[in-house]
Amino acid sequence: MHIPDGFLAANTWATAWVISTGTIGYCLKKTAGLLKDRMVPLMGIMSAFIFAAQMINFPVIGGTSGHLLGGVLAAVLLGPYAGAVVLTCVLIFQCLVFQDGGLLALGANILNMAIIGTIGGYVIFNVLHKIFGNKKGLQIGAAVAAWFSVVIAASFCALELAFSGTSPLGIVLPAMAGIHALIGIGEATITVAVLSFIQKVRPDLIYGFAGESNKA
């Protein structure tokens, strides 16, 4: 759902830039405060993995494809702030080098995917993780949060398109949410698969793992 230039009106992309710049600035500050030694290389690995995984479009129904967003995956491993920073790096890189998402629309893409999708997704994950407990909670929380992260990010994208006068809200919101409800199933599947693997081989790398020494 990388928005290209031309879809958004100036008032919309400019507003999104202001919100994104402020929020990511705050996330950078928080990340610097919370960053543990072991998270430093993990931020590199997660940037690389999410970039790579976002290249893999999988087919969904009706001639449409989707790819991993990775926001919940990054946030569960790195925490919401560092997760948002990683997603932002990937989005800037994709925009500048690969023309994936517009430059004017970059602020909106950061808002939808790195902020709403990642931090919003983490909030959902955190609630469910607490309700269901450690092991089961990680998988249930990650699955549900991953699905919602994609649907909510897509809905924000639809709102921006509607604010811009590009497409009426009554049309673009159900269309975007509907198609991303399907893509979200892929997001949930991949997120849980990767997290289950990490839970097995290196559970200490999971940020949200209650009781672990790397909680902060």
Q: Which residues contact another protein by CB under 8 A?
A: 1-7, 28, 31-33, 35, 37-49, 51-53, 55-60, 62-67, 82, 85-86, 89-90, 93, 95-100, 102-104, 154, 157, 161, 166-167, 171-172, 175-176, 179-180, 183, 202, 205
Least spacing, CB of residue 131 vs another protein, in Å? 30
Closer to another protein by Cβ: residue 22 or 65: 65
Least spacing, CB of residue 124 vs another protein, in Å? 20
Least spacing, CB of residue 199 vs another protein, in Å? 15
- Tell me how far apart the alpha carbons of residues 100 and 113 are, in angstroms, rounded to a whole number: 14
Q: How many CB atoms lie within 10 A of CB 98?
A: 11
Cβ-contact 109, 3 below 8 angstroms: yes
* Number of helical (H) and strand (E) elements in the chain, helices listed first: 8, 2
Beta bridge partners of 8: none
The helix (run of H) or strand (run of E) holding residue 19 is helix 10-34
Closer to another protein by Cβ: residue 21 or 57: 57
Least spacing, CB of residue 132 vs another protein, in Å? 27
Q: Per the structure block, which two tokens stand in for 185? A: 């199933």
DSSP-assigned letters across all residues of 45-109: HHHHHHHHHHT--EEETTTEEE----HHHHHHHH-HHHHHHHHHHHHHHHHHHH--S-STTHHHH
Least spacing, CB of residue 133 vs another protein, in Å? 26
Closer to another protein by Cβ: residue 90 or 119: 90
Burial class (CB in 10 A: 0-12, 13-18, 19+), 4: middle
In the chain, the N- to C-terminal Cα span, in Å, equals 32
Closer to another protein by Cβ: residue 99 or 196: 99
Least spacing, CB of residue 57 vs another protein, in Å? 4
Closer to another protein by Cβ: residue 96 or 210: 96
Closer to another protein by Cβ: residue 98 or 210: 98
